[in-house]
Homo-oligomer: A and B are copies of this chain.
Amino acid sequence: MTTRIFIVDDHYMVIEGIRSLLQNEKGIEWLGHAMNAGSCMAFLQQELPDVILMDINLPDKSGIDLCAEVKKKYPGVFIIGLSTFNQLSFIQRMMDNGASGYLLKNATQEEILTGISTVMKGKLYLSAEAATSLQQSRQDIPVLTRREKEVLELIASGMTNNEIAAKLFVSVATVDTHRKNLLAKFDARNIAMLIKTAVQLQLI
């Protein structure tokens, strides 16, 4: 039984690397690649792979969103996230959206094959070396409400509470409350610390 693989990554070198690593493997059929979310969705209408290797960063849409979209439309497809070591925090969100695991971009041929066969059995594949820091980061990512995200971005853009209140047509007190809640959720002492964390987690 062969496993049909499709890859979505905007870096040609990575696509070529994986293709090269998998090309002589028995039981693996290479269906092709897409370099953005749009052409990925287009391809899936034609042909359905067993496993999709999906990068976190895509030009037109984040892999996190694309993952949710694909799983909603094609629940049977297994998705493996591709990430670099310093992107581990995003993988968690991808797995919350239905991904079955992730591979680091410095994975060896063996790890890739193990990952593919693991998720094909319906299990999760978590790279051992990274699983621990993932556990940690999982708790560290605050869950923000729609309004909080909005306020956070405006704060980061340099606006004061007054200006934000005017822009959102709410009172300053409301903005202040959101600000306070943001500080609490990020466990930050002040805005400087808040913004630093938020940018590093790419929430902004």
- Hey, which bits of chain A sit against chain B, CB under 8 A? 10-21, 35, 57, 59, 84-86, 105-108, 155-160, 188-193, 195-196, 199-200, 204
Complex contact B57–A13 (CB within 8 A): no
Complex contact B195–A12 (CB within 8 A): no
> A12 CA to B104 CA in the complex, in Å?
9
Query: With A191-B192, A193-B156 as given contacts, are A21 and B13 in contact (CB-CB < 8 Å)?
Result: yes
| Closest residue on chain B to residue A160 by CB atoms | B190
Complex contact A158–B21 (CB within 8 A): no
- Give chain B residues whose Cβ lies under 8 Å from the Cβ of A200: 199
Given contacts A17-B17, A191-B192, 12 further A-B contacts (CB under 8 A): A11-B105, A12-B17, A13-B13, A13-B21, A15-B17, A16-B20, A16-B21, A17-B20, A59-B85, A156-B192, A157-B196, A195-B195
> A155 CA to B84 CA in the complex, in Å?
28
Complex contact A193–B158 (CB within 8 A): yes
Number of copies: 2
* Minimum CB–CB distance for A159 against chain B, Å: 8
- Give chain B residues whose Cβ lies under 8 Å from the Cβ of A190: 158, 160
| Closest residue on chain B to residue A10 by CB atoms | B106
> A138 CA to B199 CA in the complex, in Å?
21
> A193 CA to B160 CA in the complex, in Å?
11
| Closest residue on chain B to residue A163 by CB atoms | B189
Q: Which of A11, A155, A204 is packed against the most chain B CB atoms within 10 Å? A: A11
* Minimum CB–CB distance for A121 against chain B, Å: 23
Query: With A14-B14, A20-B17 as given contacts, are A196 and B106 in contact (CB-CB < 8 Å)?
Result: no
> A107 CA to B200 CA in the complex, in Å?
27
* Minimum CB–CB distance for A15 against chain B, Å: 7
Complex contact A156–B84 (CB within 8 A): no
Complex contact A105–B193 (CB within 8 A): no
> A115 CA to B166 CA in the complex, in Å?
51
> A203 CA to B188 CA in the complex, in Å?
20
* Minimum CB–CB distance for A109 against chain B, Å: 8
